[in-house]
Amino acid sequence: MIDIIIFIILLVLGYGFGRLLETSHYRSILRREQAFRGILLIATRTPPPDLIPRKIQLVAGNVVISVDYFKRFLASLRNIFGGRVQSYESLLDRARREAILRMKAEARALGADMVFNIKLETASIYKGHKNTIGAVEVLAYGTACVPHNREA
Amino acid sequence: MLISNLEIVPGRQVLKHLGLVQGSTVRAKHVGRDIMAGLKNIFGGELVGYTELLNESREESLGRMLEQARAVGANAVLNVRFTTSSVAQGAAELFAYGTAVILDDEA
């Protein structure tokens, strides 16, 4: 009995706080994405030959985000029926966008306006029990190009 | 020392290739952070402690790679890649590698 009560409390807490944190995180992601629009992200491996930047440097951004109790429960249900696990999709989406934003912030601090050869790497670094995903880390990195006409 | 994950540096030439340089570090998290992470596992959200930990470790593996590059006399490391793998429960390996080169002087 006590187990069930604890389970329900955790579920409610996870749902409430998880939802709150996710909406506020998405709001801040959207706001910052707007602010960093000026920095171009280009996934090609080499910049065009006629582009000679003043300086290039590696920039990176990383974030570790944990999934909440409620979503993990939903995902374990999904494991029975199969199909899209939307609760994890939003987790990874948030993590990727956040990592990219942090990389962009680093690029802006250098005065760069383009980042080439973007690589995204995802690792699940923390396992909950029974090997469920606890938290994912996303690392975004690339090479920032600082143009000639701007100061670092 | 110039670090980049591009294969060439625009406007500059590679004079000499010096081969692969690498740096790695294996880090474990401490108990305090683990407890916080356990809590966060209920509520969701960013694990700031882990983010910092992994960031620091990555800096360290990058530092070790640079040390090697300096030892072979390079002035740049190109095509840098990072990989993360969890080698054991609660420990992660951060690995950075790239090609050490000597670039011509800046024009």
Look at B50 and A126 and tell me if their CB atoms are within 8 Å.
Answer: yes
Residue of A nearest to B36 (CA): A66
Query: B91 to chain A: nearest residue by CA?
Result: A125
pLDDT of residue B93: 87
- Name the least confident of A22-31, A39-48, A79-88: A79-88
Long-range contacts of residues A27-35, Cβ cutoff 8 Å, at least 24 apart: A29/A94, A29/A97, A29/A98, A29/A101, A32/A101, A32/A105, A33/A97, A33/A101
**In this structure, are strands A114-127 and B76-88 parallel, antiparallel, or unpaired?**
unpaired
Class of domain B2-103 as given by CATH = alpha beta
- Average pLDDT rounded to a whole number, residues A125-141: 74
How do residues B20-71 score in pLDDT, each as one tens digit? 999 999 987 766 667 777 777 778 888 888 888 889 999 999 999 999 999 9
Q: Which of A125, A133, A137, A148 should we substitute to test contact with B (largest number of B Cβ atoms within 10 Å)?
A: A125
SS3 content of chain B, % helix, strand, coil (to 5): 35, 40, 25
Rounded to an integer, what is the distance from CA A38 to the centroid of its chain?
19
Q: DSSP string of A72-125?
A: HHHHHHHHHH-S--HHHHHHHHHHHHHHHHHHHHHHHHHT-SEEEEEEEEEEEE
Q: What contacts A50, CB < 8 A, 6 or more positions away?
A: none
Give the closest of B6, B44, B50 to A71, CB-based.
B44
pLDDT at A152: 45
pLDDT for the residue numbered B73:
92
CB A135 within 8 A of CB B47: yes
pLDDT (mean) for B71-90:
87
Domains of chain B, residue spans: 2-103
Torsion angles phi and psi, residue A38, rounded to 5 = -65, -20
Using CB atoms, pick whichever of A52, A62, A67 lies closest to residue B55.
A62
Residues of B within 8 A of A141 (CB-CB) are 5, 82
pLDDT of A16 over the 90 cut:
no
Q: Per-residue pLDDT averaged across B74-84, rounded?
A: 92
* Mean pLDDT confidence for B69-79: 93
Provide mean pLDDT across the span A112-121.
Answer: 92
Nearest CA in chain B to A26: B45
Min Cα separation B50/chain A (Å): 6
The answer to whether B51 contacts A63, with C-beta atoms less than 8 Å apart, is yes
pLDDT at position A94, please? 93
Please tell me which of the candidates A21, A125, A137 has its beta carbon nearest to residue B43.
Answer: A21
What are chain A's domains?
2-146 (3.30.110.70)
Over range B4-10, report the average pLDDT. Answer: 88
Q: What is the pLDDT of residue B39?
A: 75
